[in-house]
Structures are given as structure tokens and as C-alpha cells.
């Protein structure tokens, strides 16, 4: 809550933030001083009067979440964290953008420093914050306001509101009535190219009002007006709030205020001297007046009291209700879960997307933190949790999410729910539409967010919808992303183990690539998928590595080759990344040195050379076609007879 009218120390604090940003960018000879200088007043009011965080316990569950979506202004966040007492020293500010420094060019997720997420790609912070607000609303319904009752604050700029993800996310947030979400918009009229009027003449506030948001407008340099606007914004009326703050980029710079020159380059030594004079700054470089430290210290002390009161409430609630304590632990301290495999006999067929739906429901019964949904494809993705309500403004306890045709926002929101804590969220769409959420997936990988993406219709075998919907390059593309697991299970039992792997992972995202068509169950050692690749049929003449629906195909081809006296080992490799992380001895036991290796996958052959070396890669390096799946299999060479012929030719010295 507000603590009264602004004082001179408030103005001094804003000036200090500007000076620290100017000095750090100048020393680094790189960076973005304009935004921190323009938003320093907004930051001062929010952090010293409204934001509830505690550097003594940076990750306590009921803290407010703060997201700097316009992450190029990272020095503002670093300066705020330093002044507030997070473990970020003045030397860290001096080492801005340097090797080994925690003060990277754009904020990288470090919750212990008050950095809730990695930002920089514009709009991602906005979209991810929507997911954080969703998590707060759901957990508040589950546990009550005494244990979950906080806000999500976002700083954003014009670029954030131009990017498509913010429009998708804003539409979703307005529909869901996320009243605890407050976005403070740095409306400075400047982008890198110059005036925003060159490309951006819409009224963002009117657009968001049409989406169900409350909107406010305020002078972004008037502390009293900002304080009043934020106080109004945090009153939850069932609508998220956009506060448009009219600001001056590079505030205080005689030559560069209100110009694109202030955006992404140091002001220059002479201009910094002039700017400090214009701001009335009498201190030195990287200097913080004691009263400014005191202002932030007093606010953080008050926040520590709020945290202590919350801990007392939680202890009393748990003492009065042991079941509540158990539910809390199930959300905030989840344990590994077993994913029961669907009952499918060897030789019987089941689509892995169907198996995934059965596994989701089996796991959901034992894991209340599991929530998720689909981008308007739930009947196809099989992502619904049976018997559970949809998450809507009237039913925030619902565990099923209807993200609408908004893959981009879905990816960001799933990340936000997982980063918030207390929930394990997944999102579903067709594999070909992973393109639409790829930026969010990349950020999940960079942040180590354990998001789960259910990608169905994983090959040209989806058939008649044609090449627009048939993923060819997507598996290879996703595997190229660092810290990302791509799991393509071959059977119902492998699908269950794929979910176990995804749910056990805590340091990055997992993509499940699932079939539309039925695939046969085959004899296998339980738990073997956890090693990424394993032998399903022994043989000594050659190895055929397959994934997903091609494992059954490889087994059938191996049977045909028996008649020729060719002993073909078949390896199922549901997750290349996990297999490559195994020790040398295990990998050699699966792919014996000196034995020729081939691969088969109903997608691009790109990347398989890392497994097969100089061997053979069977795939499809062109777009698909519209026809029944069986017809496509015949034309593209994905029948047992075709595959066996390719293997014979290869072993005979051809290609």
C-alpha cells in the first residue's frame, strides 16, 4: 500500500537509479541507458511503496512477482536489486555486461537476486507474467487468501506491445479476469528507428480495454500521481490493469532526452557530466546516498514483516489442518510420480497421443499440481483432465486450460506457471505449430524452466491435411535447441515413461512428440526409455535406430531381413539428448563400435549423422502431400518392404 506523499528522498532515489544506469552503461561501453532513466520514477514508487519482496527470503511463495519485460533496460533492475539488499554488490554493477558477471546485458533468471525470469525478446515477459498471474489465481482458490494473495507487476515498453505475443497474452488475461496483474507501460514515443509514429500509431490502451482490461493514464515522472495510479490498479475488480505512464526516454539528458540516441548506446562521458548537472547530482560515479539506501532498507524491512506474518499464518493453518499441509507440500514440494502405462497387449495398437491422454489422467489423480491444456486442440491433443473444471474467471480452481488459438501466448503462460512455482503446467498443439511458440520454448530452455509441451500429429502420417500440417523439419529443429529434451515415444508403455521423464525433469523443457495413428506395443524392458535409447531387438550385422512410429516399422523390416540371413539390431531412441548424456560404456552397449548404424525417422534426416556417422539415414527431406497415411507411406518409402530393401542395398555397398 501507499505510505504517503512523495518526499525529496524519493526524487533522490530516482536520480540515483538514473546515475547508476548511466555509469554502468558508460563503463561497459555497451547497453541501454534511456529506459532506466525514463522509468526510474516509476521504479522508485513501485519498489518503495507497493512491491512486496524480501531479499532475506527471495523465493518465499507469496511474494509479489516483478517482471522487466523490456529487458534491455536491465540496469534498472540490477540497480533496484542492489538498493533493496539482494545479493548483488556495487562491484556487480561496475562489471555490467562483462564475462562471468551476474549483471548480463539482459536479465537472466536468478530468483535469489530478485530476477524472476529471463527477458530481452520483447513481449515474452508480458506473456510469461500472464502465466504467473494465472498460477496465483489458481493457488489462491486452492489455498485461500491467507496463503496465496500477491500481485504480478510488469514493466513493458512500446516494443513489448508491438510484438504479437503480448496481444495474444493480453487477450487471454482479459478473458480470464486476472485482476492481480498490473502492467506499467513506458509510453515514451521512441523506438530504435526513431519516433514510434513511424510504425505504431494505434492506441494500446483502447486495444486492451477491448480485451477486458482496466486502463489508467499517468505522468510517469509524477510520484504522487504514480502512487495513486498503482494504488488504484491493485484493487482487484476482476480485470488486469494497464497503467500507461507518459515518460521521457533518457530523462535529464540535455542532448539525448526524447531521442532514439538514448535507447541503446552510452550517453558519452561529456553528456553524462551535463546530465548529472541537470539532475542536480553532487555525488560521484557509482555512488549511492545513505538516505537512498535507507529508503529501500526500510521498505524491505516492512516486507520482511509481511513475510513473517505469512509464515505465522501458514504455520497456524497447517497445525489446524494436517490435510492442508499435505496439499501444500504436494504443490510446492512435489515428489517423483509413477506414470502407469495404459494396458495394451503386445501387438495391439494405440496412438501415442491417446496413450498420453490416459497417462495425464492417471498422473493427475496423484499430482494435484499438474495443470494444462491446449491451443484449441484438446480433443486432438488429448490434454484434458477428466472430471476437472476449466480454469475460468468464475472457476479459478479449474485444472484444464483453454488457451484458444494462441500458441505463442500458451507457451509463455506455461512458462510463467512453472516459474511461479506450486504448479506443473503443460500445453498442447500439433507438432507443426511448435513454430508458433518456439520463442517461448527457447526461453524455457535458457531459463531452465521445466515446461512440458505436448506436440501431437508428429509426422506426415497424419495424412490428408497435407504438407501445411505435416511436420518434416520440426524434430531436427527442436533437437538443435540446447537444454531441450525431445521425446518421441514408440508405444503406449514408452509414452508413460516419457511422461515420467518429463515430470522428473527440473532444469529445462520437454517436448513430447506423439502420433495421430496407432502404433504397436512391443516387447521391451520396463524403464528402458529413461536412458534415452535401448535395444529392442538384438542383431550383429547392423543397427537400425528408430524413433516413435518408426520403431514398429523397423522391427517389421528386421523380420523380413531375417529371411536373407541379415541379423539387424533395432534400437528405440525416444530421446537423443538423454541417450547422448549416458556414459560411454552404455552407449557402446547399444551402438557397438565397428557395427554399421542406420537411422529411420519420418522427418528430416538432418542431425542423424551424429548417431549414424557414415551410415545410412532414412527419412523425408522434402515436404509431404495430401493423401491417406497408407498411400503416403508407400510413396515415401515407409513400409517394411521398402525399408528392408534400403537396408539390403546399403549393406551391399549402395546408398
Q: DSSP of 563-624, one letter per residue?
A: TTT--EEEEE-S-HHHHHTS-HHHHHHHS-TTS-EEEE-SS--TTTHHHHTTSEEE---S--
What is the per-residue burial (b if ≥16 Cβ within 10 Å, else e) of 95-125?
bbbeeebbbbbbbbbbeebbbbbbbbbbbbb
Side-chain half-sphere exposure of 523, counting CA atoms within 13 A:
5
**Among 396, 397, 387, residue whose Cα is nearest residue 176:** 396
Strands (E), 353-459: 370-374, 400-402, 424-430, 452-456
**Among 224, 215, 246, residue whose Cα is nearest residue 49:** 224
Contacts of 189 (CB under 8 A, 6+ apart): 158, 195, 196, 197, 249, 258
Sign of the dihedral through C-alpha 338, 342, 343, 347: negative
**Among 628, 489, 620, 648, residue whose Cα is nearest residue 557:** 648
Strands 597-600 and 616-618: parallel
Given phi > 0 = left and psi -120 to 50 = alpha, else beta, which region is 182? beta
CA distance 36 to 21: 6
CA distance 291 to 288: 8
452, 498 contact by CB (below 8 A): no
Query: Which residue of the set 407, 500, 521, 550 is catalytic?
Result: 407
Sign of the dihedral through C-alpha 560, 562, 564, 570: positive
Burial classification of residue 199, based on how many CB atoms lie within 10 Å of its CB (0-12 exposed, 13-18 middle, 19 or more buried): exposed
Active site residue 333: no
**Among 50, 45, 51, residue whose Cα is nearest residue 7:** 45
Name beta bridge partners: 183. 154, 242
64, 52 contact by CB (below 8 A): yes
Strands (E), 2-64: none
**Which residues are catalytic, by number?**
407
Amino acid at each position: 500500500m501507499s505510505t504517503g506523499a512523495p518526499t525529496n528522498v524519493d526524487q533522490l532515489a530516482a536520480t540515483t537509479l538514473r546515475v547508476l544506469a548511466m555509469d554502468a552503461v558508460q563503463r561497459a561501453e555497451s547497453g541501454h541507458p534511456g529506459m532506466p532513466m525514463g522509468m526510474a520514477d516509476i521504479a522508485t514508487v513501485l519498489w518503495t511503496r507497493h512491491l512486496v519482496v524480501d531479499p532475506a527470503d527471495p523465493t518465499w511463495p507469496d511474494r509479489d512477482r516483478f517482471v522487466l519485460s523490456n529487458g534491455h533496460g536491465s540496469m534498472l533492475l540490477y540497480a533496484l536489486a542492489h538498493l533493496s539488499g539482494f545479493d548483488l554488490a556495487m562491484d556487480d554493477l561496475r562489471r555490467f555486461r562483462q564475462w562471468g558477471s551476474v549483471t548480463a546485458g539482459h536479465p537472466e533468471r536468478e530468483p535469489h537476486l530478485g530476477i524472476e525470469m529471463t527477458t530481452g525478446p520483447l513481449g515474452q515477459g508480458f506473456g510469461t507474467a500472464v502465466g504467473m498471474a494465472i498460477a496465483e489465481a489458481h493457488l489462491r482458490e486452492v489455498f485461500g487468501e491467507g496463503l496465496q494473495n500477491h500481485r504480478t507487476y510488469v514493466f513493458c515498453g512500446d516494443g513489448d506491445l508491438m510484438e504479437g505475443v503480448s496481444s495474444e497474452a493480453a487477450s487471454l488475461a482479459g478473458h480470464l479476469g486476472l485482476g492481480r496483474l498490473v502492467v506499467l507501460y513506458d509510453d515514451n514515443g521512441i523506438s530504435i528507428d526513431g519516433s514510434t509514429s513511424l510504425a505504431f500509431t494505434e492506441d494500446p490502451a483502447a486495444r486492451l480495454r477491448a480485451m477486458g482490461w482496466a486502463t489508467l493514464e499517468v505522468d510517469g515522472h509524477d510520484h504522487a500521481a504514480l502512487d495513486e495510479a498503482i494504488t488504484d490498479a491493485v484493487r482487484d475488480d476482476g480485470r488486469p490493469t494497464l497503467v500507461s505512464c507518459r515518460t521521457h526516454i533518457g530523462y535529464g539528458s540535455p542532448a539525448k532526452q526524447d531521442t532514439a540516441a538514448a535507447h541503446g548506446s552510452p550517453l558519452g562521458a561529456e553528456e553524462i557530466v551535463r546530465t548529472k548537472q541537470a539532475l542536480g547530482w553532487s555525488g560521484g560515479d557509482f555512488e549511492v546516498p545513505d538516505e537512498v539506501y535507507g529508503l529501500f532498507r526500510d521498505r524491505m524491512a516492512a516486507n520482511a514483516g509481511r513475510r513473517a506474518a505469512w509464515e505465522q499464518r501458514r504455520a497456524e493453518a497447517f497445525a489446524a489442518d494436517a490435510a492442508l499441509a499435505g496439499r501444500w507440500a504436494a504443490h510446492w514440494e512435489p515428489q517423483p510420480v509413477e506414470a502407469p502405462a495404459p494396458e495394451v497387449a503386445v501387438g495391439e495398437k494405440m496412438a501415442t497421443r491417446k496413450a498420453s491422454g490416459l497417462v495425464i489422467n492417471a498422473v493427475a489423480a496423484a499430482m494435484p499440481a499438474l495443470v494444462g491444456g491446449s491451443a484449441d486442440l484438446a480433443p486432438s491433443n488429448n490434454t484434458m483432465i477428466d472430471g476437472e473444471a476449466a480454469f475460468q474467471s468464475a472457476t479459478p480452481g479449474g485444472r484444464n486450460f483453454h488457451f484458444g488459438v494462441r500458441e505463442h501466448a500458451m507457451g509463455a503462460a506455461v512458462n510463467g506457471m512453472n516459474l511461479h512455482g506450486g504448479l506443473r503446467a503443460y500445453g498442447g498443439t500439433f507438432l507443426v505449430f511448435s513454430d508458433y511458440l518456439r520463442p517461448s520454448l527457447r526461453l524455457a530452455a535458457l531459463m531452465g524452466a521445466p515446461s512440458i509441451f505436448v506436440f501431437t500429429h508428429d509426422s506426415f502420417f497424419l495424412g490428408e491435411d497435407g504438407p501445411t500440417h505435416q511436420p518434416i523439419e520440426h524434430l531436427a529443429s527442436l533437437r538443435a535447441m540446447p537444454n531441450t529434451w525431445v521425446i518421441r515415444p514408440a508405444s503406449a508403455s514408452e509414452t508413460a515413461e516419457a511422461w515420467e521423464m518429463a515430470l522428473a525433469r527440473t532444469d529445462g523443457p520437454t517436448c513430447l512428440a506423439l502420433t495421430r495413428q496407432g502404433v504397436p506395443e512391443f516387447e521391451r524392458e520396463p524403464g528402458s526409455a529413461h536412458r534415452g535409447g535401448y535395444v529392442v531387438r538384438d542383431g550383429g550385422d547392423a543397427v537400425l535406430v528408430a524413433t516413435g512410429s518408426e520403431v514398429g516399422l523397423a522391427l517389421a523390416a528386421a523380420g523380413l531381413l531375417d529371411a536373407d540371413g541379415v541379423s539387424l539390431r533395432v534400437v528405440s531412441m525416444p530421446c537423443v539428448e538423454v541417450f547422448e548424456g549416458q556414459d560411454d560404456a552404455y552407449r557402446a552397449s547399444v551402438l557397438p563400435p565397428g557395427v554399421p548404424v542406420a537411422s529411420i525417422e519420418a522427418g528430416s534426416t538432418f542431425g542423424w549423422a551424429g548417431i549414424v556417422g557414415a551410415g545410412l539415414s532414412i527419412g523425408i527431406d522434402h515436404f509431404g502431400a495430401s493423401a491417406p497415411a497408407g498411400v503416403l507411406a508407400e510413396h515415401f518409402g515407409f513400409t517394411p518392404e521398402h525399408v528392408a530393401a534400403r537396408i539390403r542395398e546399403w549393406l551391399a555397398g549402395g546408398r
